[in-house]
Structures are given as structure tokens and as C-alpha cells.
Amino acid sequence: MLDIHAPAAQLQQPQRLRRTAGLRRLTRETRLTPDDFVLPLFVTQGENVRNEVSSMPGVFQMSVDKIVERGREAVALGVPAVLLFGLPAHKDASGSSADADGEAVQEAVRALKKDVPELVVITDVCLCEYTDHGHCGVFDTMHDSLFDMPATLARHADVAVSHARAGADVVAPSGMFDGLVAALRAALDAAGFAHVPILSYAVKYASAFYGPFRDAAGSVPAFGDRRAHQMDPANAREALREAALDVEAGADMLMVKPAIAYLDIIYRLRVQHPDRPLAAYHVSGEYAMLKAAARNGWLDERRAALEALTAIKRAGADFILTYYALDAARWLREDAESVS
Ligand code: PBG
């Protein structure tokens, strides 16, 4: 019987649904699963190589044989996909080794598709790991601070086709250059890879949170920064324009990067493009911050990492590129086992 004289506080108590773990599980709105994760990997030359990145504990530059082991581990933990970055032996002004068939990324794609065929292999398409200046494009010889856009787009297109030829399931252009998605779509279609989808880094901010990645990938710019082509962290409406242009150009999936400082952007893209899979990249600096705090005993790593990943999904991401992919999959499995 409703007591109409009861104080309002007794009638309206949302915390009734939080009282037990069972009630919380029943009313939970966002559930992380290993299916949500993509594991980024750094492929290097040689054999049996496993160099830990100092600013990213638990992340390694690995040779192809070790990459395949990691791929098997991902599948065993239920993580559906990896994202590959390559470290070349040789760098030059145009990043000429980026589309060489014998490079680390191309070899790793072939090895993964042969040994772990169920794993989705996504390749990062960019030049910054391959250029001696560490920038993502080819410079105009007349104006040394400007990119030669036709040459830059053509190089990226060649790289994407080379990844597709090696067997990549998805290509992910990360340069944030105007016209990049259209250039890749045209080149892939012309080369017989109309079936290869594009995951566009549609909204990529010029972020300080990429710092550790540039150590991992050896892609610190030799001069300047990337603010003339990556987005200004202060802008949100512009992100909608970037995403709309990429969808128009044929992007099959969109990405926002970084994630935690840009949850509003993830949400806006989710609303603006409800029909496109949306990814978010929990980047190197976001990972490094959690690791550093955990190592100092300042945070509970497992809870903080799962909270961050849950927040990214809650904001609207369908999947998350994260260096925590394997750990998080393991933690989620342990949680599931502990309630059953
Ligand atoms: C290359 C690229 C970067 C990242 C992914 N692809 C670095 C950059 O743009 O400088 C960053 C990923 C991370 O920080 O984890 N263009």
C-alpha cells in the first residue's frame, strides 16, 4: 500500500537498485566485453624481438613471430582485432619503405592471416613512422612548411593498397589530411580491393596524449608539430564537419581520437552518424597515465582502466582501440567467473 504521507525521500530512492551486486548487474546500462577491443601492436624487423616501450609498460615493439603469438593470445581472450603499426629499417623524405612488400607490417599481416585467420587485421596507414622528418606527409619542395598534397595522398594510397595486397582486413588512414579517405577508396577499388573497408581516423586531435606513441613508433617530428592538419582540441562543431566529409567520401567506420578527453565528441558523432560503426582510440598517453599512477600505488589500475573503457563505450563508441585490450579482456573474464 502506498503511504501517501511518506516523505518523498522514501518514495524516490534510486539507490534501492544498487543495494546488491545482483541488482547492479541487472540494471547496468553499459557492458564491456572483449568484443569491444582492438589491440594496437608495433611490428619491427628481426626475429624473437620484444623491446618494451619505456613510457608504455606492457607494450612492446615486436618482431613478426612475437606478433603472431600476441595475435593468438588476443583470439584466446576473445579480442577480435589488432591494429598494426610498422617500424621500418630505413627512413627517407617520402617514406618510400611504407609500401614495400617486405616491410614489417606487410610481413606481419601475411603471417597473422595465415596463422590466426579469424583475427581481424587492421593496418594504420600513415607515413610518419617511415619519413626521416617524422611527419605524416610529403613536403612541397617550393614551400618547406607545406605538404605536397597530391604526392601525400598518392603515397598514402600506395600504402593502403600494399596493406590490402598483403591481406589486411581493414585499412585505417590516420593522417587527418583532407581528401585522404576519397583517395584511398579510389585506389583500393581500382586495385581490386573494393571489399576492404576503411576505418577513418575522422576526428583526430593534435593531442599531447600521443607522446608515448611517438617513442613506440619512432615518429617524433624532427621539427614543428601536427597542428596544421590534426584538429584543434578546442573545436567540437568542426568534428561534425570532418566526420560528415569522411562519410561522404566512403568511410565505412569512423574514429575519434583520443578518447577520455573527447567523450563529448564521441557522443556527438554517435548522434550524427547512427548508421556507422564508431570507434574511439584510448591512446598511448591515456594508457601511460594510468600505468604511472598504478605503479606509484596512486590508483587501482584494474578499476580505473575498466572505468575509463566503460565511459568510452557509454559515450557511444562501438569499439575501442586500447593498449589495455588483453588485460581488460582477462579482467572481464575473471569478473564473469567470479559471479558464476
Ligand atoms: C600516426 C598515429 C599516431 C597515433 C596513431 N597513429 C601519432 C600521431 O598522430 O602523432 C597515436 C596513437 C597513440 O598515441 O596511441 N599518424
Task: Give me the pLDDT at residue 6, please.
Answer: 66
Task: Give me the pLDDT at residue 99, please.
Answer: 95
**Ligand 1, atom 14, residue with closest C-alpha:** 210
Cα gap 176→173, rounded to integer Å: 8
Name the amino acid, one letter, at 77.
L
Residue 257 Cα to chain centre, angstroms? 7
Cα angle 272, 276, 278 (rounded to 5 degrees) comes to 85
Closest CA to 201 of 262, 276, 135, 256: 256
Residue 20 contacts by C-beta under 8 Å, 6 or more apart in sequence? none
Grid coordinates standing for 156?
598514402
At which residue does the C-alpha cell 564491456 appear? 32
Longest dimension (CA), the chain: 83
Task: Give me the pLDDT at residue 10, please.
Answer: 73
Task: Give me the pLDDT at residue 59, please.
Answer: 98
**DSSP state, residue 140:** P
Closest CA to 170 of 252, 255, 275, 70: 252
Cα gap 226→203, rounded to integer Å: 14
Residues 121 and 167 sit within 8 Å (Cβ to Cβ): yes
Task: Answer whether the bond into residue 258 is a cis peptide, omega within 30°.
Answer: yes
Is residue 66 part of the annotated active site? The answer reads: no
Cα gap 167→2, rounded to integer Å: 65
Is residue 204 part of the annotated active site? The answer reads: yes
| Torsion sign across C-alpha atoms 19, 25, 27, 30 | positive
Q: Give this prediction's pTM.
A: 0.96
**DSSP state, residue 194:** T
Name the amino acid, one letter, at 325.
A
The preferred substitution site among 59, 219, 230 for testing ligand 1, maximizing ligand atoms within 8 Å of CB, is 219
Distance 76 CA to ligand 1 centre (A): 27
Task: Give me the pLDDT at residue 145, please.
Answer: 74
**Dihedral angle, C-alpha 20, 313, 262, 160, nearest 10 °:** 160
The preferred substitution site among 55, 59, 85, 126 for testing ligand 1, maximizing ligand atoms within 8 Å of CB, is 126
pLDDT digits over 28-82, tens only? 999 999 999 999 999 999 999 999 999 999 999 999 999 999 999 999 999 999 9
Phi, psi of 146 (to 5 degrees): -110, 150
Written as tens digits, the pLDDT of the chain (340 aa) is: 566 666 666 788 999 999 999 999 999 999 999 999 999 999 999 999 999 999 999 999 999 999 999 999 999 999 999 999 999 989 999 999 999 999 999 999 999 999 999 999 999 999 999 999 999 999 998 776 789 999 999 999 999 999 999 999 999 999 999 999 999 999 999 999 999 999 999 999 999 999 999 888 888 898 888 898 899 999 999 999 999 999 999 999 999 999 999 999 999 999 999 999 999 999 999 999 999 999 999 999 999 999 999 999 999 999 999 999 999 999 999 998 988 6
Cα angle 292, 293, 294 (rounded to 5 degrees) comes to 90
**Closest ligand 1 atom, CA of 124?**
6
| Average pLDDT value over all residues in the chain | 95
Cβ < 6 A, ligand 1 pocket? 124, 126, 128, 136, 174-175, 210, 213-214, 226, 283-284
Phi, psi of 151 (to 5 degrees): -65, -40
Exactly one of 66, 91, 257, 291 is catalytic; which is it? 257
